[in-house]
Structure formats: structure tokens, C-alpha cells
């Protein structure tokens, strides 16, 4: 297993498959990508996953853009090495027709980005009136067994903060649904930063039980039958101290830190020992952004 200079072992890789998307969310940070070049091919991704597994990386999460825009997505999922768990972050608007095929290809679970249960607000946030399609995608994921389905809600001050209780109710008494409340990041000109710490304090006060996740040292709150997590990447030393993730941009650059884009390692065209050396170099460049 690869370990960075700060003692943090890397056990997860997050691969952006495309920057194409059928929505245009007002806050989208696109994993920090700017002006990406050509997307990695399915064969290139297969080789990257092979090397990643050789270094003890046990899980892969596919992201975008919207990964369901890739016509070869099922092939990519099927190329994940045996013993490596795969998951997907999606807006779910295209998921209803693909959920069962993705499960059959080996996908374990999905995270679904839904920031409002109100159709008007959903369109305000995403630029498209597709809430019904997103909710149908969630139901298809549950039916296909892509569970637990984690609902990602980015907290947006003045837009959706008053819907947190609505989302809690949506996942309540549904053991295969988990709510993740996510702090807005600073990658795009979106100023709707909510008081996520205050929200977490309120949820903690409501919780019947609290657990701490071993992997990310993040708390899980059990609120009257609902499982809720709060993801706070900004100004959070624990978020950085327990980071176990390496990222790969859609155009083939290993990204040691979500919050930086000045220390990337280009892996396009690399195979075997050269690709292994690139992994080692990327992990060597990892450092906590907040310390």
C-alpha cells in the first residue's frame, strides 16, 4: 500500500470519466478540472485500475461530469479488477434505464446528487426540470441493489437550507438510503455558503445515536430512523488528516489533493512500471491542505 510523507495510506481512487453533463449546477466544481483534453479510453482506465489494485487500493469511485454520459460505462465498470469495490456518483437523471446493467457489470452502489425536492428549486440549481427523472433513478438503483444509495445534498444558503428536514424525512426508515449534507466548495462563483457547522450541531442535538466512521473519521447521525452524514471539506483538519484518496482527472492526470490543481501527475499513455512510478510520485506529493 502506498503511504504519503504524512503517514496517510491511500486505499481509494476517484476517477472522473468525463466532464460532459446533462445538467449545469450552479456550484459544480468539476473536481477542479479546467479545460480538460481528451477523455481516457476504457483500456487506459483498465490499466490504471490494474496498477491501483497492485498498490493495495481497494475501492474506486467513478465521477464526472455525469459518468452516465459515457457510452462505454458498463464496459468500464466490468473492467474493475476482482476484489476492488466500485461505486458511482451521478445525478441519476439517466440512471433508470441503466441501473440493472451497471449492477450486472459489478457496480456496488451509487451516490446521487439531489439538492432539492422542489421541482422549481431543482431547476434553479441544475438548469433543467429533471427532478422526476432523478427520483426515478434513485428508485431504479434501489430496485437493482446498488445500495446503500447515498443522497448528496449540497447545502445552499438562501436556496435549500429549509429542506434539510424534508430530506431527512425522505430517507427515514429506509435502511438503503443515507443522506449526506455537503459543504459548498469554492471552485465556482457561487456564494450560497450555508452554516454547515451550525446545521451539524442541530442534527447532533436531534440524534438518537452517533457513530464515527473509521475511514474518514466522520460522524454518522441516526435521527429518528434516518442516517445522516455531514461532509465538511473546508477549513477542516480532520477531513485532510484522514484523507485516503487519490484522484484522476478525466483527461489523465493524477490529482493528489481535491483542493489543489498545481501538483498533478500526467499518466496519459503510461503503462506498467512507468505508470507505477507516476502513482508513487503522485502519492509523494500528497500533503494536508488544512493542518
Structural domain includes residue 44: yes
Q: Looking at the 3D structure of the chain, how many domains does it have?
A: 1
For the ranges 52-56, 231-235, 237-241, the maximum mean pLDDT occurs at 52-56
Distance spanning both ends of the chain, measured CA to CA: 23
* Cis peptide bond prior to 78, omega within 30° of 0: no
7 inside domain: no
- The stretch 61-87 carries a mean pLDDT of 97
Rounded to 10 degrees, what is the CA torsion of 168, 173, 176, 178?
20
User: pLDDT tens-digit profile of 138-187?
Assistant: 999 999 999 999 999 999 999 999 999 999 999 999 999 999 999 998 76
Domain-embedded: residue 3: no
pTM of the model: 0.95
On whether residue 289 sits in a domain, the answer given is no
What CATH number corresponds to the domain at position 183? Answer: 3.20.20.70
Range of lowest pLDDT (27-31, 184-188, 286-290)? 184-188
39-54: per-residue pLDDT in tens?
Answer: 999 999 999 999 999 9
**Cβ contacts of 111 within 8 Å, gap of 6 or more:** 61, 87, 88, 89, 90, 149, 150, 151, 152, 180
d(CA 142, CA 150): 11
Average pLDDT over residues 193-209: 92
In a domain, 5, yes or no: no
Answer yes or no: is 253 within a domain: yes
- Inside any domain, residue 6: no
Domain that holds residue 154: 12-284
Amino acid at each position: 500500500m502506498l503511504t504519503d510523507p504524512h503517514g496517510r495510506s491511500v486505499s481509494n481512487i476517484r476517477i472522473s470519466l468525463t466532464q460532459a453533463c446533462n445538467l449545469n449546477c450552479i456550484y459544480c466544481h468539476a473536481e477542479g478540472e479546467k479545460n480538460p483534453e481528451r477523455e481516457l479510453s476504457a483500456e487506459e482506465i483498465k490499466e490504471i485500475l490494474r496498477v491501483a489494485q497492485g498498490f493495495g487500493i481497494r475501492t474506486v469511485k467513478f465521477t464526472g461530469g455525469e459518468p452516465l454520459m459515457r457510452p462505454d460505462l458498463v464496459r468500464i465498470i466490468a473492467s474493475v479488477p476482482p476484489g476492488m469495490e466500485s461505486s458511482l456518483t451521478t445525478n441519476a437523471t439517466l440512471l433508470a434505464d441503466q441501473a440493472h446493467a451497471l449492477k450486472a457489470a459489478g457496480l456496488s452502489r451509487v451516490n446521487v446528487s439531489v439538492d432539492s425536492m422542489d421541482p422549481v428549486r431543482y431547476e434553479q440549481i441544475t438548469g433543467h426540470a429533471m427532478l422526476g427523472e432523478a427520483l426515478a433513478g434513485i428508485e431504479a438503483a434501489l430496485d437493482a441493489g446498488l445500495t446503500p444509495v447515498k443522497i448528496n445534498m449540497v447545502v445552499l444558503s438562501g436556496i435549500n437550507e429549509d429542506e434539510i428536514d424534508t430530506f431527512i424525512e425522505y430517507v427515514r426508515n429506509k435502511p438503503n438510503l443515507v443522506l449526506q449534507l455537503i459543504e459548498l466548495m469554492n471552485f465556482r462563483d457561487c456564494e450560497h455558503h450555508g452554516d454547515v457547522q451550525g446545521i451539524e450541531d442541530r442534527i447532533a442535538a436531534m440524534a438518537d445515536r452517533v457513530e464515527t466512521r473509521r475511514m474518514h473519521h466522520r460522524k454518522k447521525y441516526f435521527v429518528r430512523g434516518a442516517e445522516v452524514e455531514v461532509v465538511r471539506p473546508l477549513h477542516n483538519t480532520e477531513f485532510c488528516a484522514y484523507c485516503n484518496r487519490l484522484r484522476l482527472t478525466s483527461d489523465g492526470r493524477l490529482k493528489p489533493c481535491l483542493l489543489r490543481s498545481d501538483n498533478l501527475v500526467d499518466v496519459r499513455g503510461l503503462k506498467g512500471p512507468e505508470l507505477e512510478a507516476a502513482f508513487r510520485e503522485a502519492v509523494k506529493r500528497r500533503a494536508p491542505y488544512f493542518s
